Amino acid sequence: MAQSPTTLSVEEVARLAALARIDLTTEELEHFAPQLEVILDSVASVSEVARADVPPTSHALPLTNVFRADEVRESLPVEAVLANAPASEDDRFRVPRILGED
Amino acid sequence: MAEVTTTAELMDYDEAMERFDPVLGLEVHVELNTASKMFCGCSTAFGADPNTQTCPVCLGLPGSLPVVNGTAVESAIRIGLALNCEVATWCRFSRKNYFYPDMPKDYQVSQYDEPICFDGHVDLEVNGDVFRIEIERVHMEEDAGKLVHQGGDTGRIHGADHSLVDYNRAGVPLMEIVTKPIRGLGTRAPEVGRAYMAHLRDLMVALGVSHARMEQGNLRCDANVSLMPKGSDELGTRTETKNVNSLRSVEGALRFEIQRQGALLAEGGRVVQETRHWHEEGWTSPGRSKETAEDYRYFPEPDLVPVAPSREWVEQLRASLPEPPASKRTRLQAEYGFTDLQMRDVLGNAGSLDLIEATVLAGSSAAAARKWWLGELARRANDAGVDLADLTITPQQVAAVQALVDEGSLNDKLARQVIEGVLAGEGEPAQVVADRGLAVVSDEGALSQAVDEAIAANPDVAERIREGKVQAAGALIGAVMKAMRGQADAARVRELILQKLS
């Protein structure tokens, strides 16, 4: 591999875990950090062939302007909407109290 | 609500203005009035039963695929053009990742560094002075669901033990209009902020792209304010007051933050960068601190292909734009024969020109339309603490009341009672007249008898009128109107009195 290996600190992994709301122990963070480095290095190897003048691809198909007409279609019955909800009340999804935010 | 009022120290507004220059940044969210949502066919109608306007796409169920509502894109471009923006030749949607139950997908589809419209401006006329507001961008996104916090204090998150979510609003097309930092407004800043909001509301109505009903949250403002010490060039730390959704609240929130930050800075304190909540009683309270900068990890939305509006389409949309508000004002003033002073009153009452125009189009004279909207209705809006356009009476109903006045079925006093009835939800003007028995008495016999009785009861007044002192008739008219419980045409009563005593 031409590029020097990426280094990913345990702090950076901890931050990513926090953003993704995944609760990891210090041991787990230390365990995952080197694995994530390998993934980043593998992906980074793309830039060895993609030069600066090649724009990043966000879509595989060369399509633009795919629009639908502004027409109302039938929605799901509320029973179906709530069927998979772990909890519901008054035809609404019931969620735990949200802490630390307003 | 057991909420305490503010304990923040406030600096006198004039003193704050002597010491600091405010810098504003306004982010306005506009809910479009498309029939269906941004990325699916669910209805956007307001007030439906919870979760009855949802489907696999707006619930973010696995395997569902969004498709862009073409009308929403068209509305976004028209809004941008009306704000003198450039329209992107190519742009993408992005995912804004965050965890909060108002979005079932755990991300909001928005636009990040490629907004559909950018680099615009509006020139606002505020009480005779013109202020230019630079527009940074207009971008497309989707609205979030609604949370109700249960247990503890009603509606507030503090003390709540759980929350209930309704996703009917999730996925409703939302446009975000963002200004560049607005400097140099000085003491006029809160007033200009309000005027900008009023301008956007009028513009959305003129474009026909939003219901623009602020009390239903169709138009919501996030108001950023910071203060620079006079003579300094360095931007201060800003606060962002979220979801301010009435014109007077925009002005109030800006004014409050200027006074609060002024007091803090004067004491050598520091403004904390945070979001704040607006309370209708006239103050703001701290919300989430932004010390730990949010990281939304935006990335291009892979499920939606780029939007690349052709120049032909853009020009076609430009040609379809309605008359700009400024030239419309000039034209209507000339058509209606309003004096400059009258026009200033009209423009000082946000939204009233459009309401007057609609009332005239419904058959009323311009003078009568102006009298209703700036008189009785402005007073009632003020008493109720709402904007004129939010009163529950339409221009057509006002014109109908005026038509009843013009044909002599109502006098001014009765007409005001009809207006009151319509505002109270008693139905159309004709219905209110019938139900309340408000029409003026056109029975000449009854009127004539009431006049005779008034003359008999006030012989001295009658004598003076006979001697030619017609101004004394006022006392008799008053007596007749009282006897008829106000339901008589005062002009006709006067005629009868003068006839009988000549």
Summarised one tens digit per residue, pLDDT across range B353-371 is 989 999 999 999 999 999 9
Say whether both B245 and B392 belong to one domain.
no
Q: How high is the pLDDT of residue A1?
A: 42
Say whether both B255 and B175 belong to one domain.
yes
Give the range of the structural domain holding residue A11, as residue numbers without chain letter: 1-50
Q: Is B442 a residue whose pLDDT tops 70? A: no
Average pLDDT (B409-419) is 90
Say whether both B469 and B489 belong to one domain.
yes
Query: Mind listing the pLDDT tens digit for each residue in B155-196?
Result: 555 666 889 999 999 999 999 999 999 999 999 999 999 999
Domain-embedded: residue B159: yes
Domain-embedded: residue A75: no
The verdict on a CB contact (< 8 Å) between A98 and B68 is no
CB-CB contact of B414 with B438 (8 Å): yes
Say whether both B422 and B449 belong to one domain.
no
Q: How high is the pLDDT of residue B166?
A: 97
How far is residue B162's CA from residue B151's CA, in Å, rounded to a whole number? 7
Give the range of the structural domain holding residue B406, as residue numbers without chain letter: 334-436
Instruction: State whether residue B213 is helix, strand or coil.
Output: coil
Query: Mind listing the pLDDT tens digit for each residue in B217-276?
Result: 899 999 999 999 998 888 899 999 998 989 999 999 999 999 999 999 999 999 999 999
- Which among B83, B63, B87, B62 is positioned nearest to B74, based on CA atoms? B87
Q: Is B449 a residue whose pLDDT tops 60? A: yes
CATH code at A23?
1.10.20
Domain-embedded: residue B66: yes
- State the number of CA atoms in the 13 A half-sphere of B444 facing the CB: 3
Q: How high is the pLDDT of residue B386?
A: 86
Average pLDDT (B277-306) is 84
Query: Mind listing the pLDDT tens digit for each residue in A55-87?
Result: 888 888 889 999 999 999 999 999 999 999 999
Q: β-pairing, A67-68 with B68-69?
A: parallel
How far is residue B66's CA from residue B110's CA, in Å, rounded to a whole number? 13
Query: Mind listing the pLDDT tens digit for each residue in B57-78?
Result: 999 999 999 999 999 999 999 9
Cβ neighbors of B312 (< 8 A, separation 6 or more) are none
Say whether both B357 and B422 belong to one domain.
yes
Say whether both B234 and B357 belong to one domain.
no
Question: Last residue of a domain, which of B436, B469, B490?
Answer: B436
Q: What are the Cα distances from residue B344, in Å, to B126, B341, B348, B353, B383?
A: 10, 5, 6, 11, 22
The tokens describing B282, both together, are 């006239």
The verdict on a CB contact (< 8 Å) between A98 and B157 is yes
Query: Which residues in A lie closer than 8 A to residue B307 (C-beta atoms)?
Result: 64-65
Average pLDDT for chain B: 90
Domain-embedded: residue A40: yes
Say whether both B458 and B418 belong to one domain.
no
Say whether both B283 and B162 belong to one domain.
yes
DSSP-assigned letter for residue B39: S
Size of interface A-B (CB pairs under 8 A): 129
The verdict on a CB contact (< 8 Å) between B163 and A97 is yes
Chain A residues whose C-beta sits inside 8 Å of any chain B C-beta:
19, 21, 58-59, 61, 63-76, 78, 81-82, 89-98, 101-102
Say whether both B481 and B361 belong to one domain.
no
List the single residue in B49, B277, B302 with the smallest CB-CB distance to A59: B302
Question: Last residue of a domain, which of B295, B310, B343?
Answer: B295
Question: What is the band of A102 on the pLDDT scale with cuts at 50, 70, 90?
Answer: very low
Q: Return the sign of the alpha-carbon dihedral for residues B400, B401, B403, B404.
A: positive
Q: How many domains does chain B have?
A: 3
Cβ neighbors of B113 (< 8 A, separation 6 or more) are B94, B298
The verdict on a CB contact (< 8 Å) between B167 and A93 is yes
Domain-embedded: residue A56: no
Q: Is B293 a residue whose pLDDT tops 80? A: no
List strand residue ranges (DSSP E) for chain A, in order.
67-68, 88-89, 92-96
Q: How many domains does chain A have?
A: 1
Domain-embedded: residue B8: no
Domain-embedded: residue A91: no
Say whether both B360 and B246 belong to one domain.
no
Q: What are the Cα distances from residue B52, in Å, to B43, B167, B168, B326?
A: 9, 8, 7, 42
Q: How high is the pLDDT of residue B280?
A: 87
In this structure, of A28-42, A78-92, B78-92, B433-447, the range with the lowest mean pLDDT score is: B433-447
Amino acid identity of residue A68, one-letter, is R
Say whether both B487 and B450 belong to one domain.
yes
Domain-embedded: residue A57: no
Domain-embedded: residue B301: no
Question: Last residue of a domain, which of B268, B295, B322?
Answer: B295
Q: How many angstroms away from the CA of B90 is the closest CA of chain A? A: 9
